Amino acid sequence: MAALEIAEPEKLDDAYTMLGTEEGSIRPMGGGTALMLMMKAQLFKPSKLVSLRKIEALTGFSLSVDASHIRIGAMTTFSELEQSPMIAQHLPVVTQTMKTLANVRVRNVATVGGNLAHGDPHLDLPPVWSALGASVRIVGVDGERVVPAEELFLGYYETVLAQGELIADISVPVRPGWRFFYAKVTTRAEHDWPALGLCVGVRAEGEVIADVSLVLSAAVDKPTRLKSAEAALRGVALSDAALAMAADAALAEVHIEGDGRGSAAYKQQLLRVHLGRAIKHVMQGSASA
C-alpha cells in the first residue's frame, strides 16, 4: 500500500472542499473495508483519503415520528443496524440479510453509505434497499438531491455520484402489509460472495400477490429491478404457473453474465428456481415486515 494522506473533517463543507470536484486520487472513506482491499491490491492508489467518521451529520438512524420511514445516516455501521431492535421490528429483512453478510468484523466497520457508494454489484444490501424503495440523499457543494436507491447504480462499480458528492443518508419507507426476503445464493462454498442476490417483497391479499417488488443483484452488473417479472405477478394468485411466467419474464429482461461463480446458463437456472422459492417463502409469511 503506497503512502497517502488522511484528512478528518468535522463539517460537510470542509469535506467538500477537501474532496474537490476534479476526478482524481482523492477519495471519501466510510468504514474503509472495500477501499483498503483495493489499496492493498494496488488496484487503487489514492493520494488522499477524506475520512467521514467525524462528521456528525452523517451518523445515527431513527424512525420518523409518524413511523412512516427510517432515516439511516451514511456512517451507520452494519452492526449497529444488525443489533437494533427497531430495525428488527420495522425492517426485518435488513436484520435477516446481516447474518450472512461478510463477517462480524466487516459488519463492525462497514457503513451504509460506503457500501452504496462502492457500486459493487455483489454486495448484499443495495438490492435490499432498492426493493424496499429506499431513497438516497446525496449532498455536495452545489446542494443536495434525492435519488431512489435503484437509480443510484449506473453499472459495474459505477454510480451517479460525482466527485465531491457524498451520500448523507438514506430514507427507507416502512411498508405495512409487505413482507420482504433476501435470498443470497452462493455456489462455490456456503460462505461466499453471492452468485445471485435476490430481494423479494410482496404485499399479499390472501393467495393473491397484490403488489410485488423484485430486485436482482450479483448476476447482473448492478442491482436491477425485475419490472416485467413484477408486472407478471402483480394481481395474480400464487401458482407454479404464475411463478414460471414471472421467471420467464425475469430472464427475458436481464442480461446475466457468467463468471467464476457460475456460467450464464447456470445462473439463469438459479434465478428461475430461487425467484419462485423466494416468492413462495414470503407468501407463506416466514419473513414478515
Partner 1 sequence: MSTSRTIQFTLNGRPATADIAANETIVDMLTNRFELRGARESCGQGLCGCCTVTVDGMAVSGCLSLAWFLDGKSVETVEALSKGGVLDPVQEAFIEAGAFQCGFCTPGFIMMVRQLLDAHPDPDEDEVRHYLTGNLCRCSAYPEIMDAVKLAAAKRKRASAA
Partner 2 sequence: MSAITPPPFASRSLPRLEAREKVTGRIEYTHHLKLPGMLHGKIFRSTMPHAKIKSIDTTAAAALPGVYQVVTIDDIRKVIPNPYYGPAFHDQPILADGKVRFAGEPVAVVLAFDKKIAEEAAGLITAEYEELPAVFDEIEAMTAKVLVHDELKPAATFADLKYLKGKKGTNIALDYQLRRGDTEAAFARAEHVFEHTFRSQQVMHVPMEPFVSVADWQDGHLTLHTASQGPSFVRIEIARLLGLPENKVRVKVPYLGGGFGGKLYIKLEALVTALSMVAERPVKISLTMDEQFFMVTRHPCHFTIKSGLDASGKIIARHCEVIWNGGAYADIGPRVTQKAGFTSAGPYDIDNVTINSYAVYTNRPPCGALRGFGAPQTAWAYECHTDMIADALKMDRVEFRRKNMLREGRPQASGTPLRDAEIERAMDHVLDRMNWSAPFDRGSGNIKRGRGIGIGFKGITSPTTSVAIVNLNADGSCALYIGTVDMGQGSDTVMAQIAAQVLNLDPASIKVIHPDTDVTPYDMGTLGSRSTFHMGNAVRIAAEDAKQKIEVLARELGLPQGANLPLVDMMKQKYGMQAGNIIGTGTYLADYEKPDAQGQTTKGTPFWGVGAAGAEVEIDIETGAIKVTKLVNVADVGVALNPKAVQQQLSGAGIMQLGFTLTENMVFRDGQLTNGSLADYKIPTLLDMPKSFINEHVPNAYDAHGPFGAKGGGESTTIALSPAIGNAVADALGIRIYDLPITPEAIFRAMQEAKGAPLEEDA
Phi/psi of residue 70, nearest 5 degrees: -120, 130
Phi/psi of residue 281, nearest 5 degrees: -60, -50
Decide whether 37 or 162 has the Cβ nearer to partner 1: 37
Alpha-carbon gap, residue 52 to 49, rounded angstroms? 9
Provide the minimum distance between the beta carbon of 47 and partner 2 in the complex, in angstroms, as a whole number.
Answer: 13
Q: Which does 192 bind (CB under 5 to 8 A by kind): partner 1, partner 2, none?
A: partner 2
The alpha-helical segments, DSSP class H, found in the chain are 12-19, 33-40, 78-82, 85-90, 92-98, 104-109, 112-118, 125-132, 227-233, 240-253, 264-283
Cell 451504509 belongs to residue: 112
Provide the minimum distance between the beta carbon of 39 and partner 1 in the complex, in angstroms, as a whole number.
Answer: 8
Provide the minimum distance between the beta carbon of 258 and partner 2 in the complex, in angstroms, as a whole number.
Answer: 4
Q: Is there binding between residue 79 and partner 1 (CB under 8 A)?
A: yes
Decide whether 1 or 237 has the Cβ nearer to partner 2: 1
Q: Is there binding between residue 43 and partner 1 (CB under 8 A)?
A: no
CA 78 vs CA 32, 103, 141: distances in Å: 13, 10, 28
- The residues of the shown chain that bind partner 2, judged by CB under 8 A, are 1-3, 42, 187-193, 258, 260, 262-266, 269-270, 273-274
Of positions 100, 163, 171, 269, contacts partner 1 by CB under 8 A: 100
Question: Residue 208: which residues within 8 A CB-CB, separation 6 or more?
Answer: 235, 236, 237, 238
Asked if residue 198 lies in contact with residue 268, where contact means CB atoms within 8 angstroms, the answer is: no
Provide the minimum distance between the beta carbon of 280 and partner 1 in the complex, in angstroms, as a whole number.
Answer: 22
Q: Is there binding between residue 59 and partner 1 (CB under 8 A)?
A: no
Reduced to 3 states (helix: H, G, I; strand: E, B; else coil), residue 106 is helix
Amino acid identity of 99? K
Q: Is there binding between residue 38 and partner 1 (CB under 8 A)?
A: no
Provide the minimum distance between the beta carbon of 261 and partner 1 in the complex, in angstroms, as a whole number.
Answer: 16
Decide whether 83 or 288 has the Cβ nearer to partner 1: 83
Of positions 88, 106, 208, 210, contacts partner 1 by CB under 8 A: 106
Residues between 227 and 286 that touch partner 1 (CB under 8 A): none
Provide the minimum distance between the beta carbon of 103 and partner 1 in the complex, in angstroms, as a whole number.
Answer: 2
Q: Which does 264 bind (CB under 5 to 8 A by kind): partner 1, partner 2, none?
A: partner 2
Reduced to 3 states (helix: H, G, I; strand: E, B; else coil), residue 57 is helix
Sign of the C-alpha dihedral computed for residues 76, 80, 86 and 91 taken in this order: positive
Sign of the C-alpha dihedral computed for residues 101, 102, 106 and 111 taken in this order: negative
Provide the minimum distance between the beta carbon of 236 and partner 1 in the complex, in angstroms, as a whole number.
Answer: 35
Q: Is there binding between residue 103 and partner 1 (CB under 8 A)?
A: yes
Of positions 37, 86, 154, 237, contacts partner 1 by CB under 8 A: 37
Cβ atoms within 10 A of the Cβ of 174, count? 17
Site residues, partner 1 (CB under 8 A): 1-7, 18, 32-33, 36-37, 39-40, 48-49, 51, 53, 79, 99-100, 102-106, 108-109, 190-191
